[in-house]
Chains A and B, each alone.
Chain A
Amino acid sequence: MTEVYLNGKFVGDVENPVEFVDHIITERRKGVLSPNINVLYVKENDNIIIEAGKGRLRRPLLVIKEGKPLLTEKHVSQLEKGELTWSDLINQGIIEYLDALEEENVLVAFTEEELTPEHTHMEISPMVQLGLCASLVPFGNHNQSTRLNAGSKNQKQALGLYIANYLVRMDMDVNILQTPQMPIVNTIMHEISEYDKHPSGQNIIVAIMSYKGYNMEDAIILNKGSIERGLGRSTYYRPSIAEELRYSGGLVDQISIPDKEVKGYRSEKDYRLLEGDGIIYPEAFINEGDVLIGKTSPPRFLSSMDEYNLVSNMRRESSVTVKHGERGYVDFVLITENEEGNKLVQVRIRDQRVPEVGDKFTSRHGQKGVVGLIVNHTDMPFSASGIVPDLIFSPHSIPSRMTVAHLLELIGGKVGALSGRFIDGTTFDSETEEDLRAELLKCGFRENGTETMYNGMTGEMFEAKIYMGNMYYMKLKHMVANKIHSRARGPVQLLTRQPTEGRAKEGGLRLGEMEKDTFVAHGASLLLKERFDADRTIVPVCESCGLIAIKDEFKNKHFCPICGDDVEVTNIELAYAFKLILDEFKSLCIYPKLELKGKY
Chain B
Amino acid sequence: MDEELLKEYSELLPQKVLDEIKDAVPSNISKSKLKEILDKTLEEYNTMKVSPGECVGLVGAESIGEPGTQMTLNTFHFAGVSEMNVTMGLPRIIEILDCSKSLSTPMMEIYLKSPLNKGKGIKEFAENVKETKLRECIKEISVNIGNSSIEISLDKEKMDLLHITRKKLISIMDASLKGFTVKENDELIVVKPRGKDDTVNSLFKAKEKLKEMYVSGIKGITQVLPVKKGEEYIIITAGTNLKVVLEMEEVDATRTISNDSLEISEILGIEAARESVLNEVKKVIDVQGLNVDVRHIMLVADIMCISGAVKGITRYGVVSEKSSVLARASFETPLKHIINASISGERDHLNSVVENVMLNQVIPIGCGMPKLVLENEKGEKAK
Contact = CB atoms under 8 A, between A and B. Distances in A.
A247 interface: no
A574 B363 contact: no
Contact of B360 (A524, A575, A590, A598): A575
Contacts of B79: none
B361 interface: yes
B363 A521 contact: no
Given A521-B62, A525-B367, A600 B372 contact: yes
B12 interface: no
Given A517-B58, A520-B353, A585-B338, A525 B363 contact: yes
B352 to A, nearest CB: 11
Contacts of A516: 357
Interface string B336-350: 001100100001000
B344 to A, nearest CB: 12
Interface stretch (A10-18, A74-82, A529-537, A556-564): A529-537
A520 B55 contact: yes
Nearest to A581: B358
Contact of A528 (B357, B372, B382): B357
Interface string A569-600: 00001110110010001001011000100101
Nearest to B342: A590
A490 interface: no
A319 B317 CA distance: 57
A461 B246 CA distance: 80
A590 B367 contact: no
B365 interface: yes
A600 B366 contact: no
A575 B361 CA distance: 8
A526 B371 contact: no
Contact of A521 (B58, B358, B372): B58
B59 interface: yes
B379 interface: no
B360 A520 contact: no
Interface string B352-383: 01000111111111111101110000000011
A523 to B, nearest CB: 2
A522 interface: yes
Interface residues of A, number: 28
B54 interface: yes
A600 B361 contact: no
B365 A529 contact: no
A573 B62 CA distance: 31
Contacts of B62: 517, 521
Nearest to A598: B383
B368 A526 contact: yes
Contacts of B347: 595
B364 to A, nearest CB: 8
B53 interface: yes
Contacts of B339: 588, 590
Given A528-B357, A533-B360, A574-B359, A521 B55 contact: yes
Given A575-B359, A585-B338, A521 B53 contact: no
Contacts of B364: 525
A579 to B, nearest CB: 10
B360 A523 contact: no
Nearest to A528: B363
Nearest to A525: B368
A517 B363 CA distance: 12
Contacts of A575: 358-360
Contacts of A588: 338-339
B373 A591 contact: no
B358 A578 contact: yes
Given A529-B360, A598-B383, A521 B59 contact: yes
A595 B348 CA distance: 10
Contact of A523 (B357, B361, B365): B365
A415 to B, nearest CB: 46
A517 B354 CA distance: 10
A473 to B, nearest CB: 36
Nearest to B363: A525
Interface string A503-542: 0000000000000110011111110110011011000000
A600 B53 contact: no
Contacts of A585: 338, 342
A523 B383 contact: no
B359 A525 contact: no
Contact of A600 (B338, B353, B363, B382): B382
Given A591-B342, A600-B383, A520 B358 contact: no
Counting chain A CB atoms within 10 Å of each CB, the highest count among B339, B358, B364, B373 belongs to B358
Given A522-B366, A585-B338, A600-B372, A529 B58 contact: no
Contacts of B53: 523
Contacts of B338: 585, 588, 590
Given A598-B383, A600-B372, A578 B367 contact: no
Contacts of A526: 362, 367-368
Nearest to B347: A595
Given A525-B362, A525-B366, A529-B362, A600 B55 contact: no
Interface in B89-122: none
A525 B53 CA distance: 11
B367 A523 contact: yes
B292 to A, nearest CB: 15
A574 to B, nearest CB: 6
A523 B362 contact: no
Contacts of A528: 357, 363
A277 B50 CA distance: 73
B373 A600 contact: yes
A457 to B, nearest CB: 43
B293 to A, nearest CB: 14
Nearest to A591: B342
B187 to A, nearest CB: 41
A63 B62 CA distance: 63
B357 to A, nearest CB: 7
Nearest to B335: A588
Contacts of B366: 520, 522-525
A546 to B, nearest CB: 11
Contacts of A578: 358-360
B360 A536 contact: yes
A523 B368 contact: yes
B196 to A, nearest CB: 48
Nearest to A575: B360
A523 B54 contact: yes
Interface string B46-83: 00000001110011001000000000000000000000
Query: Which one of A523, A575, A578, A595 has the highest number of Cβ atoms from chain B below 10 Å of its Cβ?
Result: A523
Contacts of B360: 529, 532-533, 535-536, 573-575, 578
B256 to A, nearest CB: 40
A520 B359 contact: no
Contacts of A598: 383
6 contacts: A520-B365, A523-B55, A529-B363, A575-B359, A585-B338, A585-B342
Interface of B: 53-55, 58-59, 62, 338-339, 342, 347, 353, 357-369, 371-373, 382-383
Given A523-B365, A600-B383, 11 more contacts: A522-B366, A523-B53, A523-B366, A525-B362, A526-B367, A528-B357, A529-B360, A574-B360, A575-B359, A578-B359, A590-B338
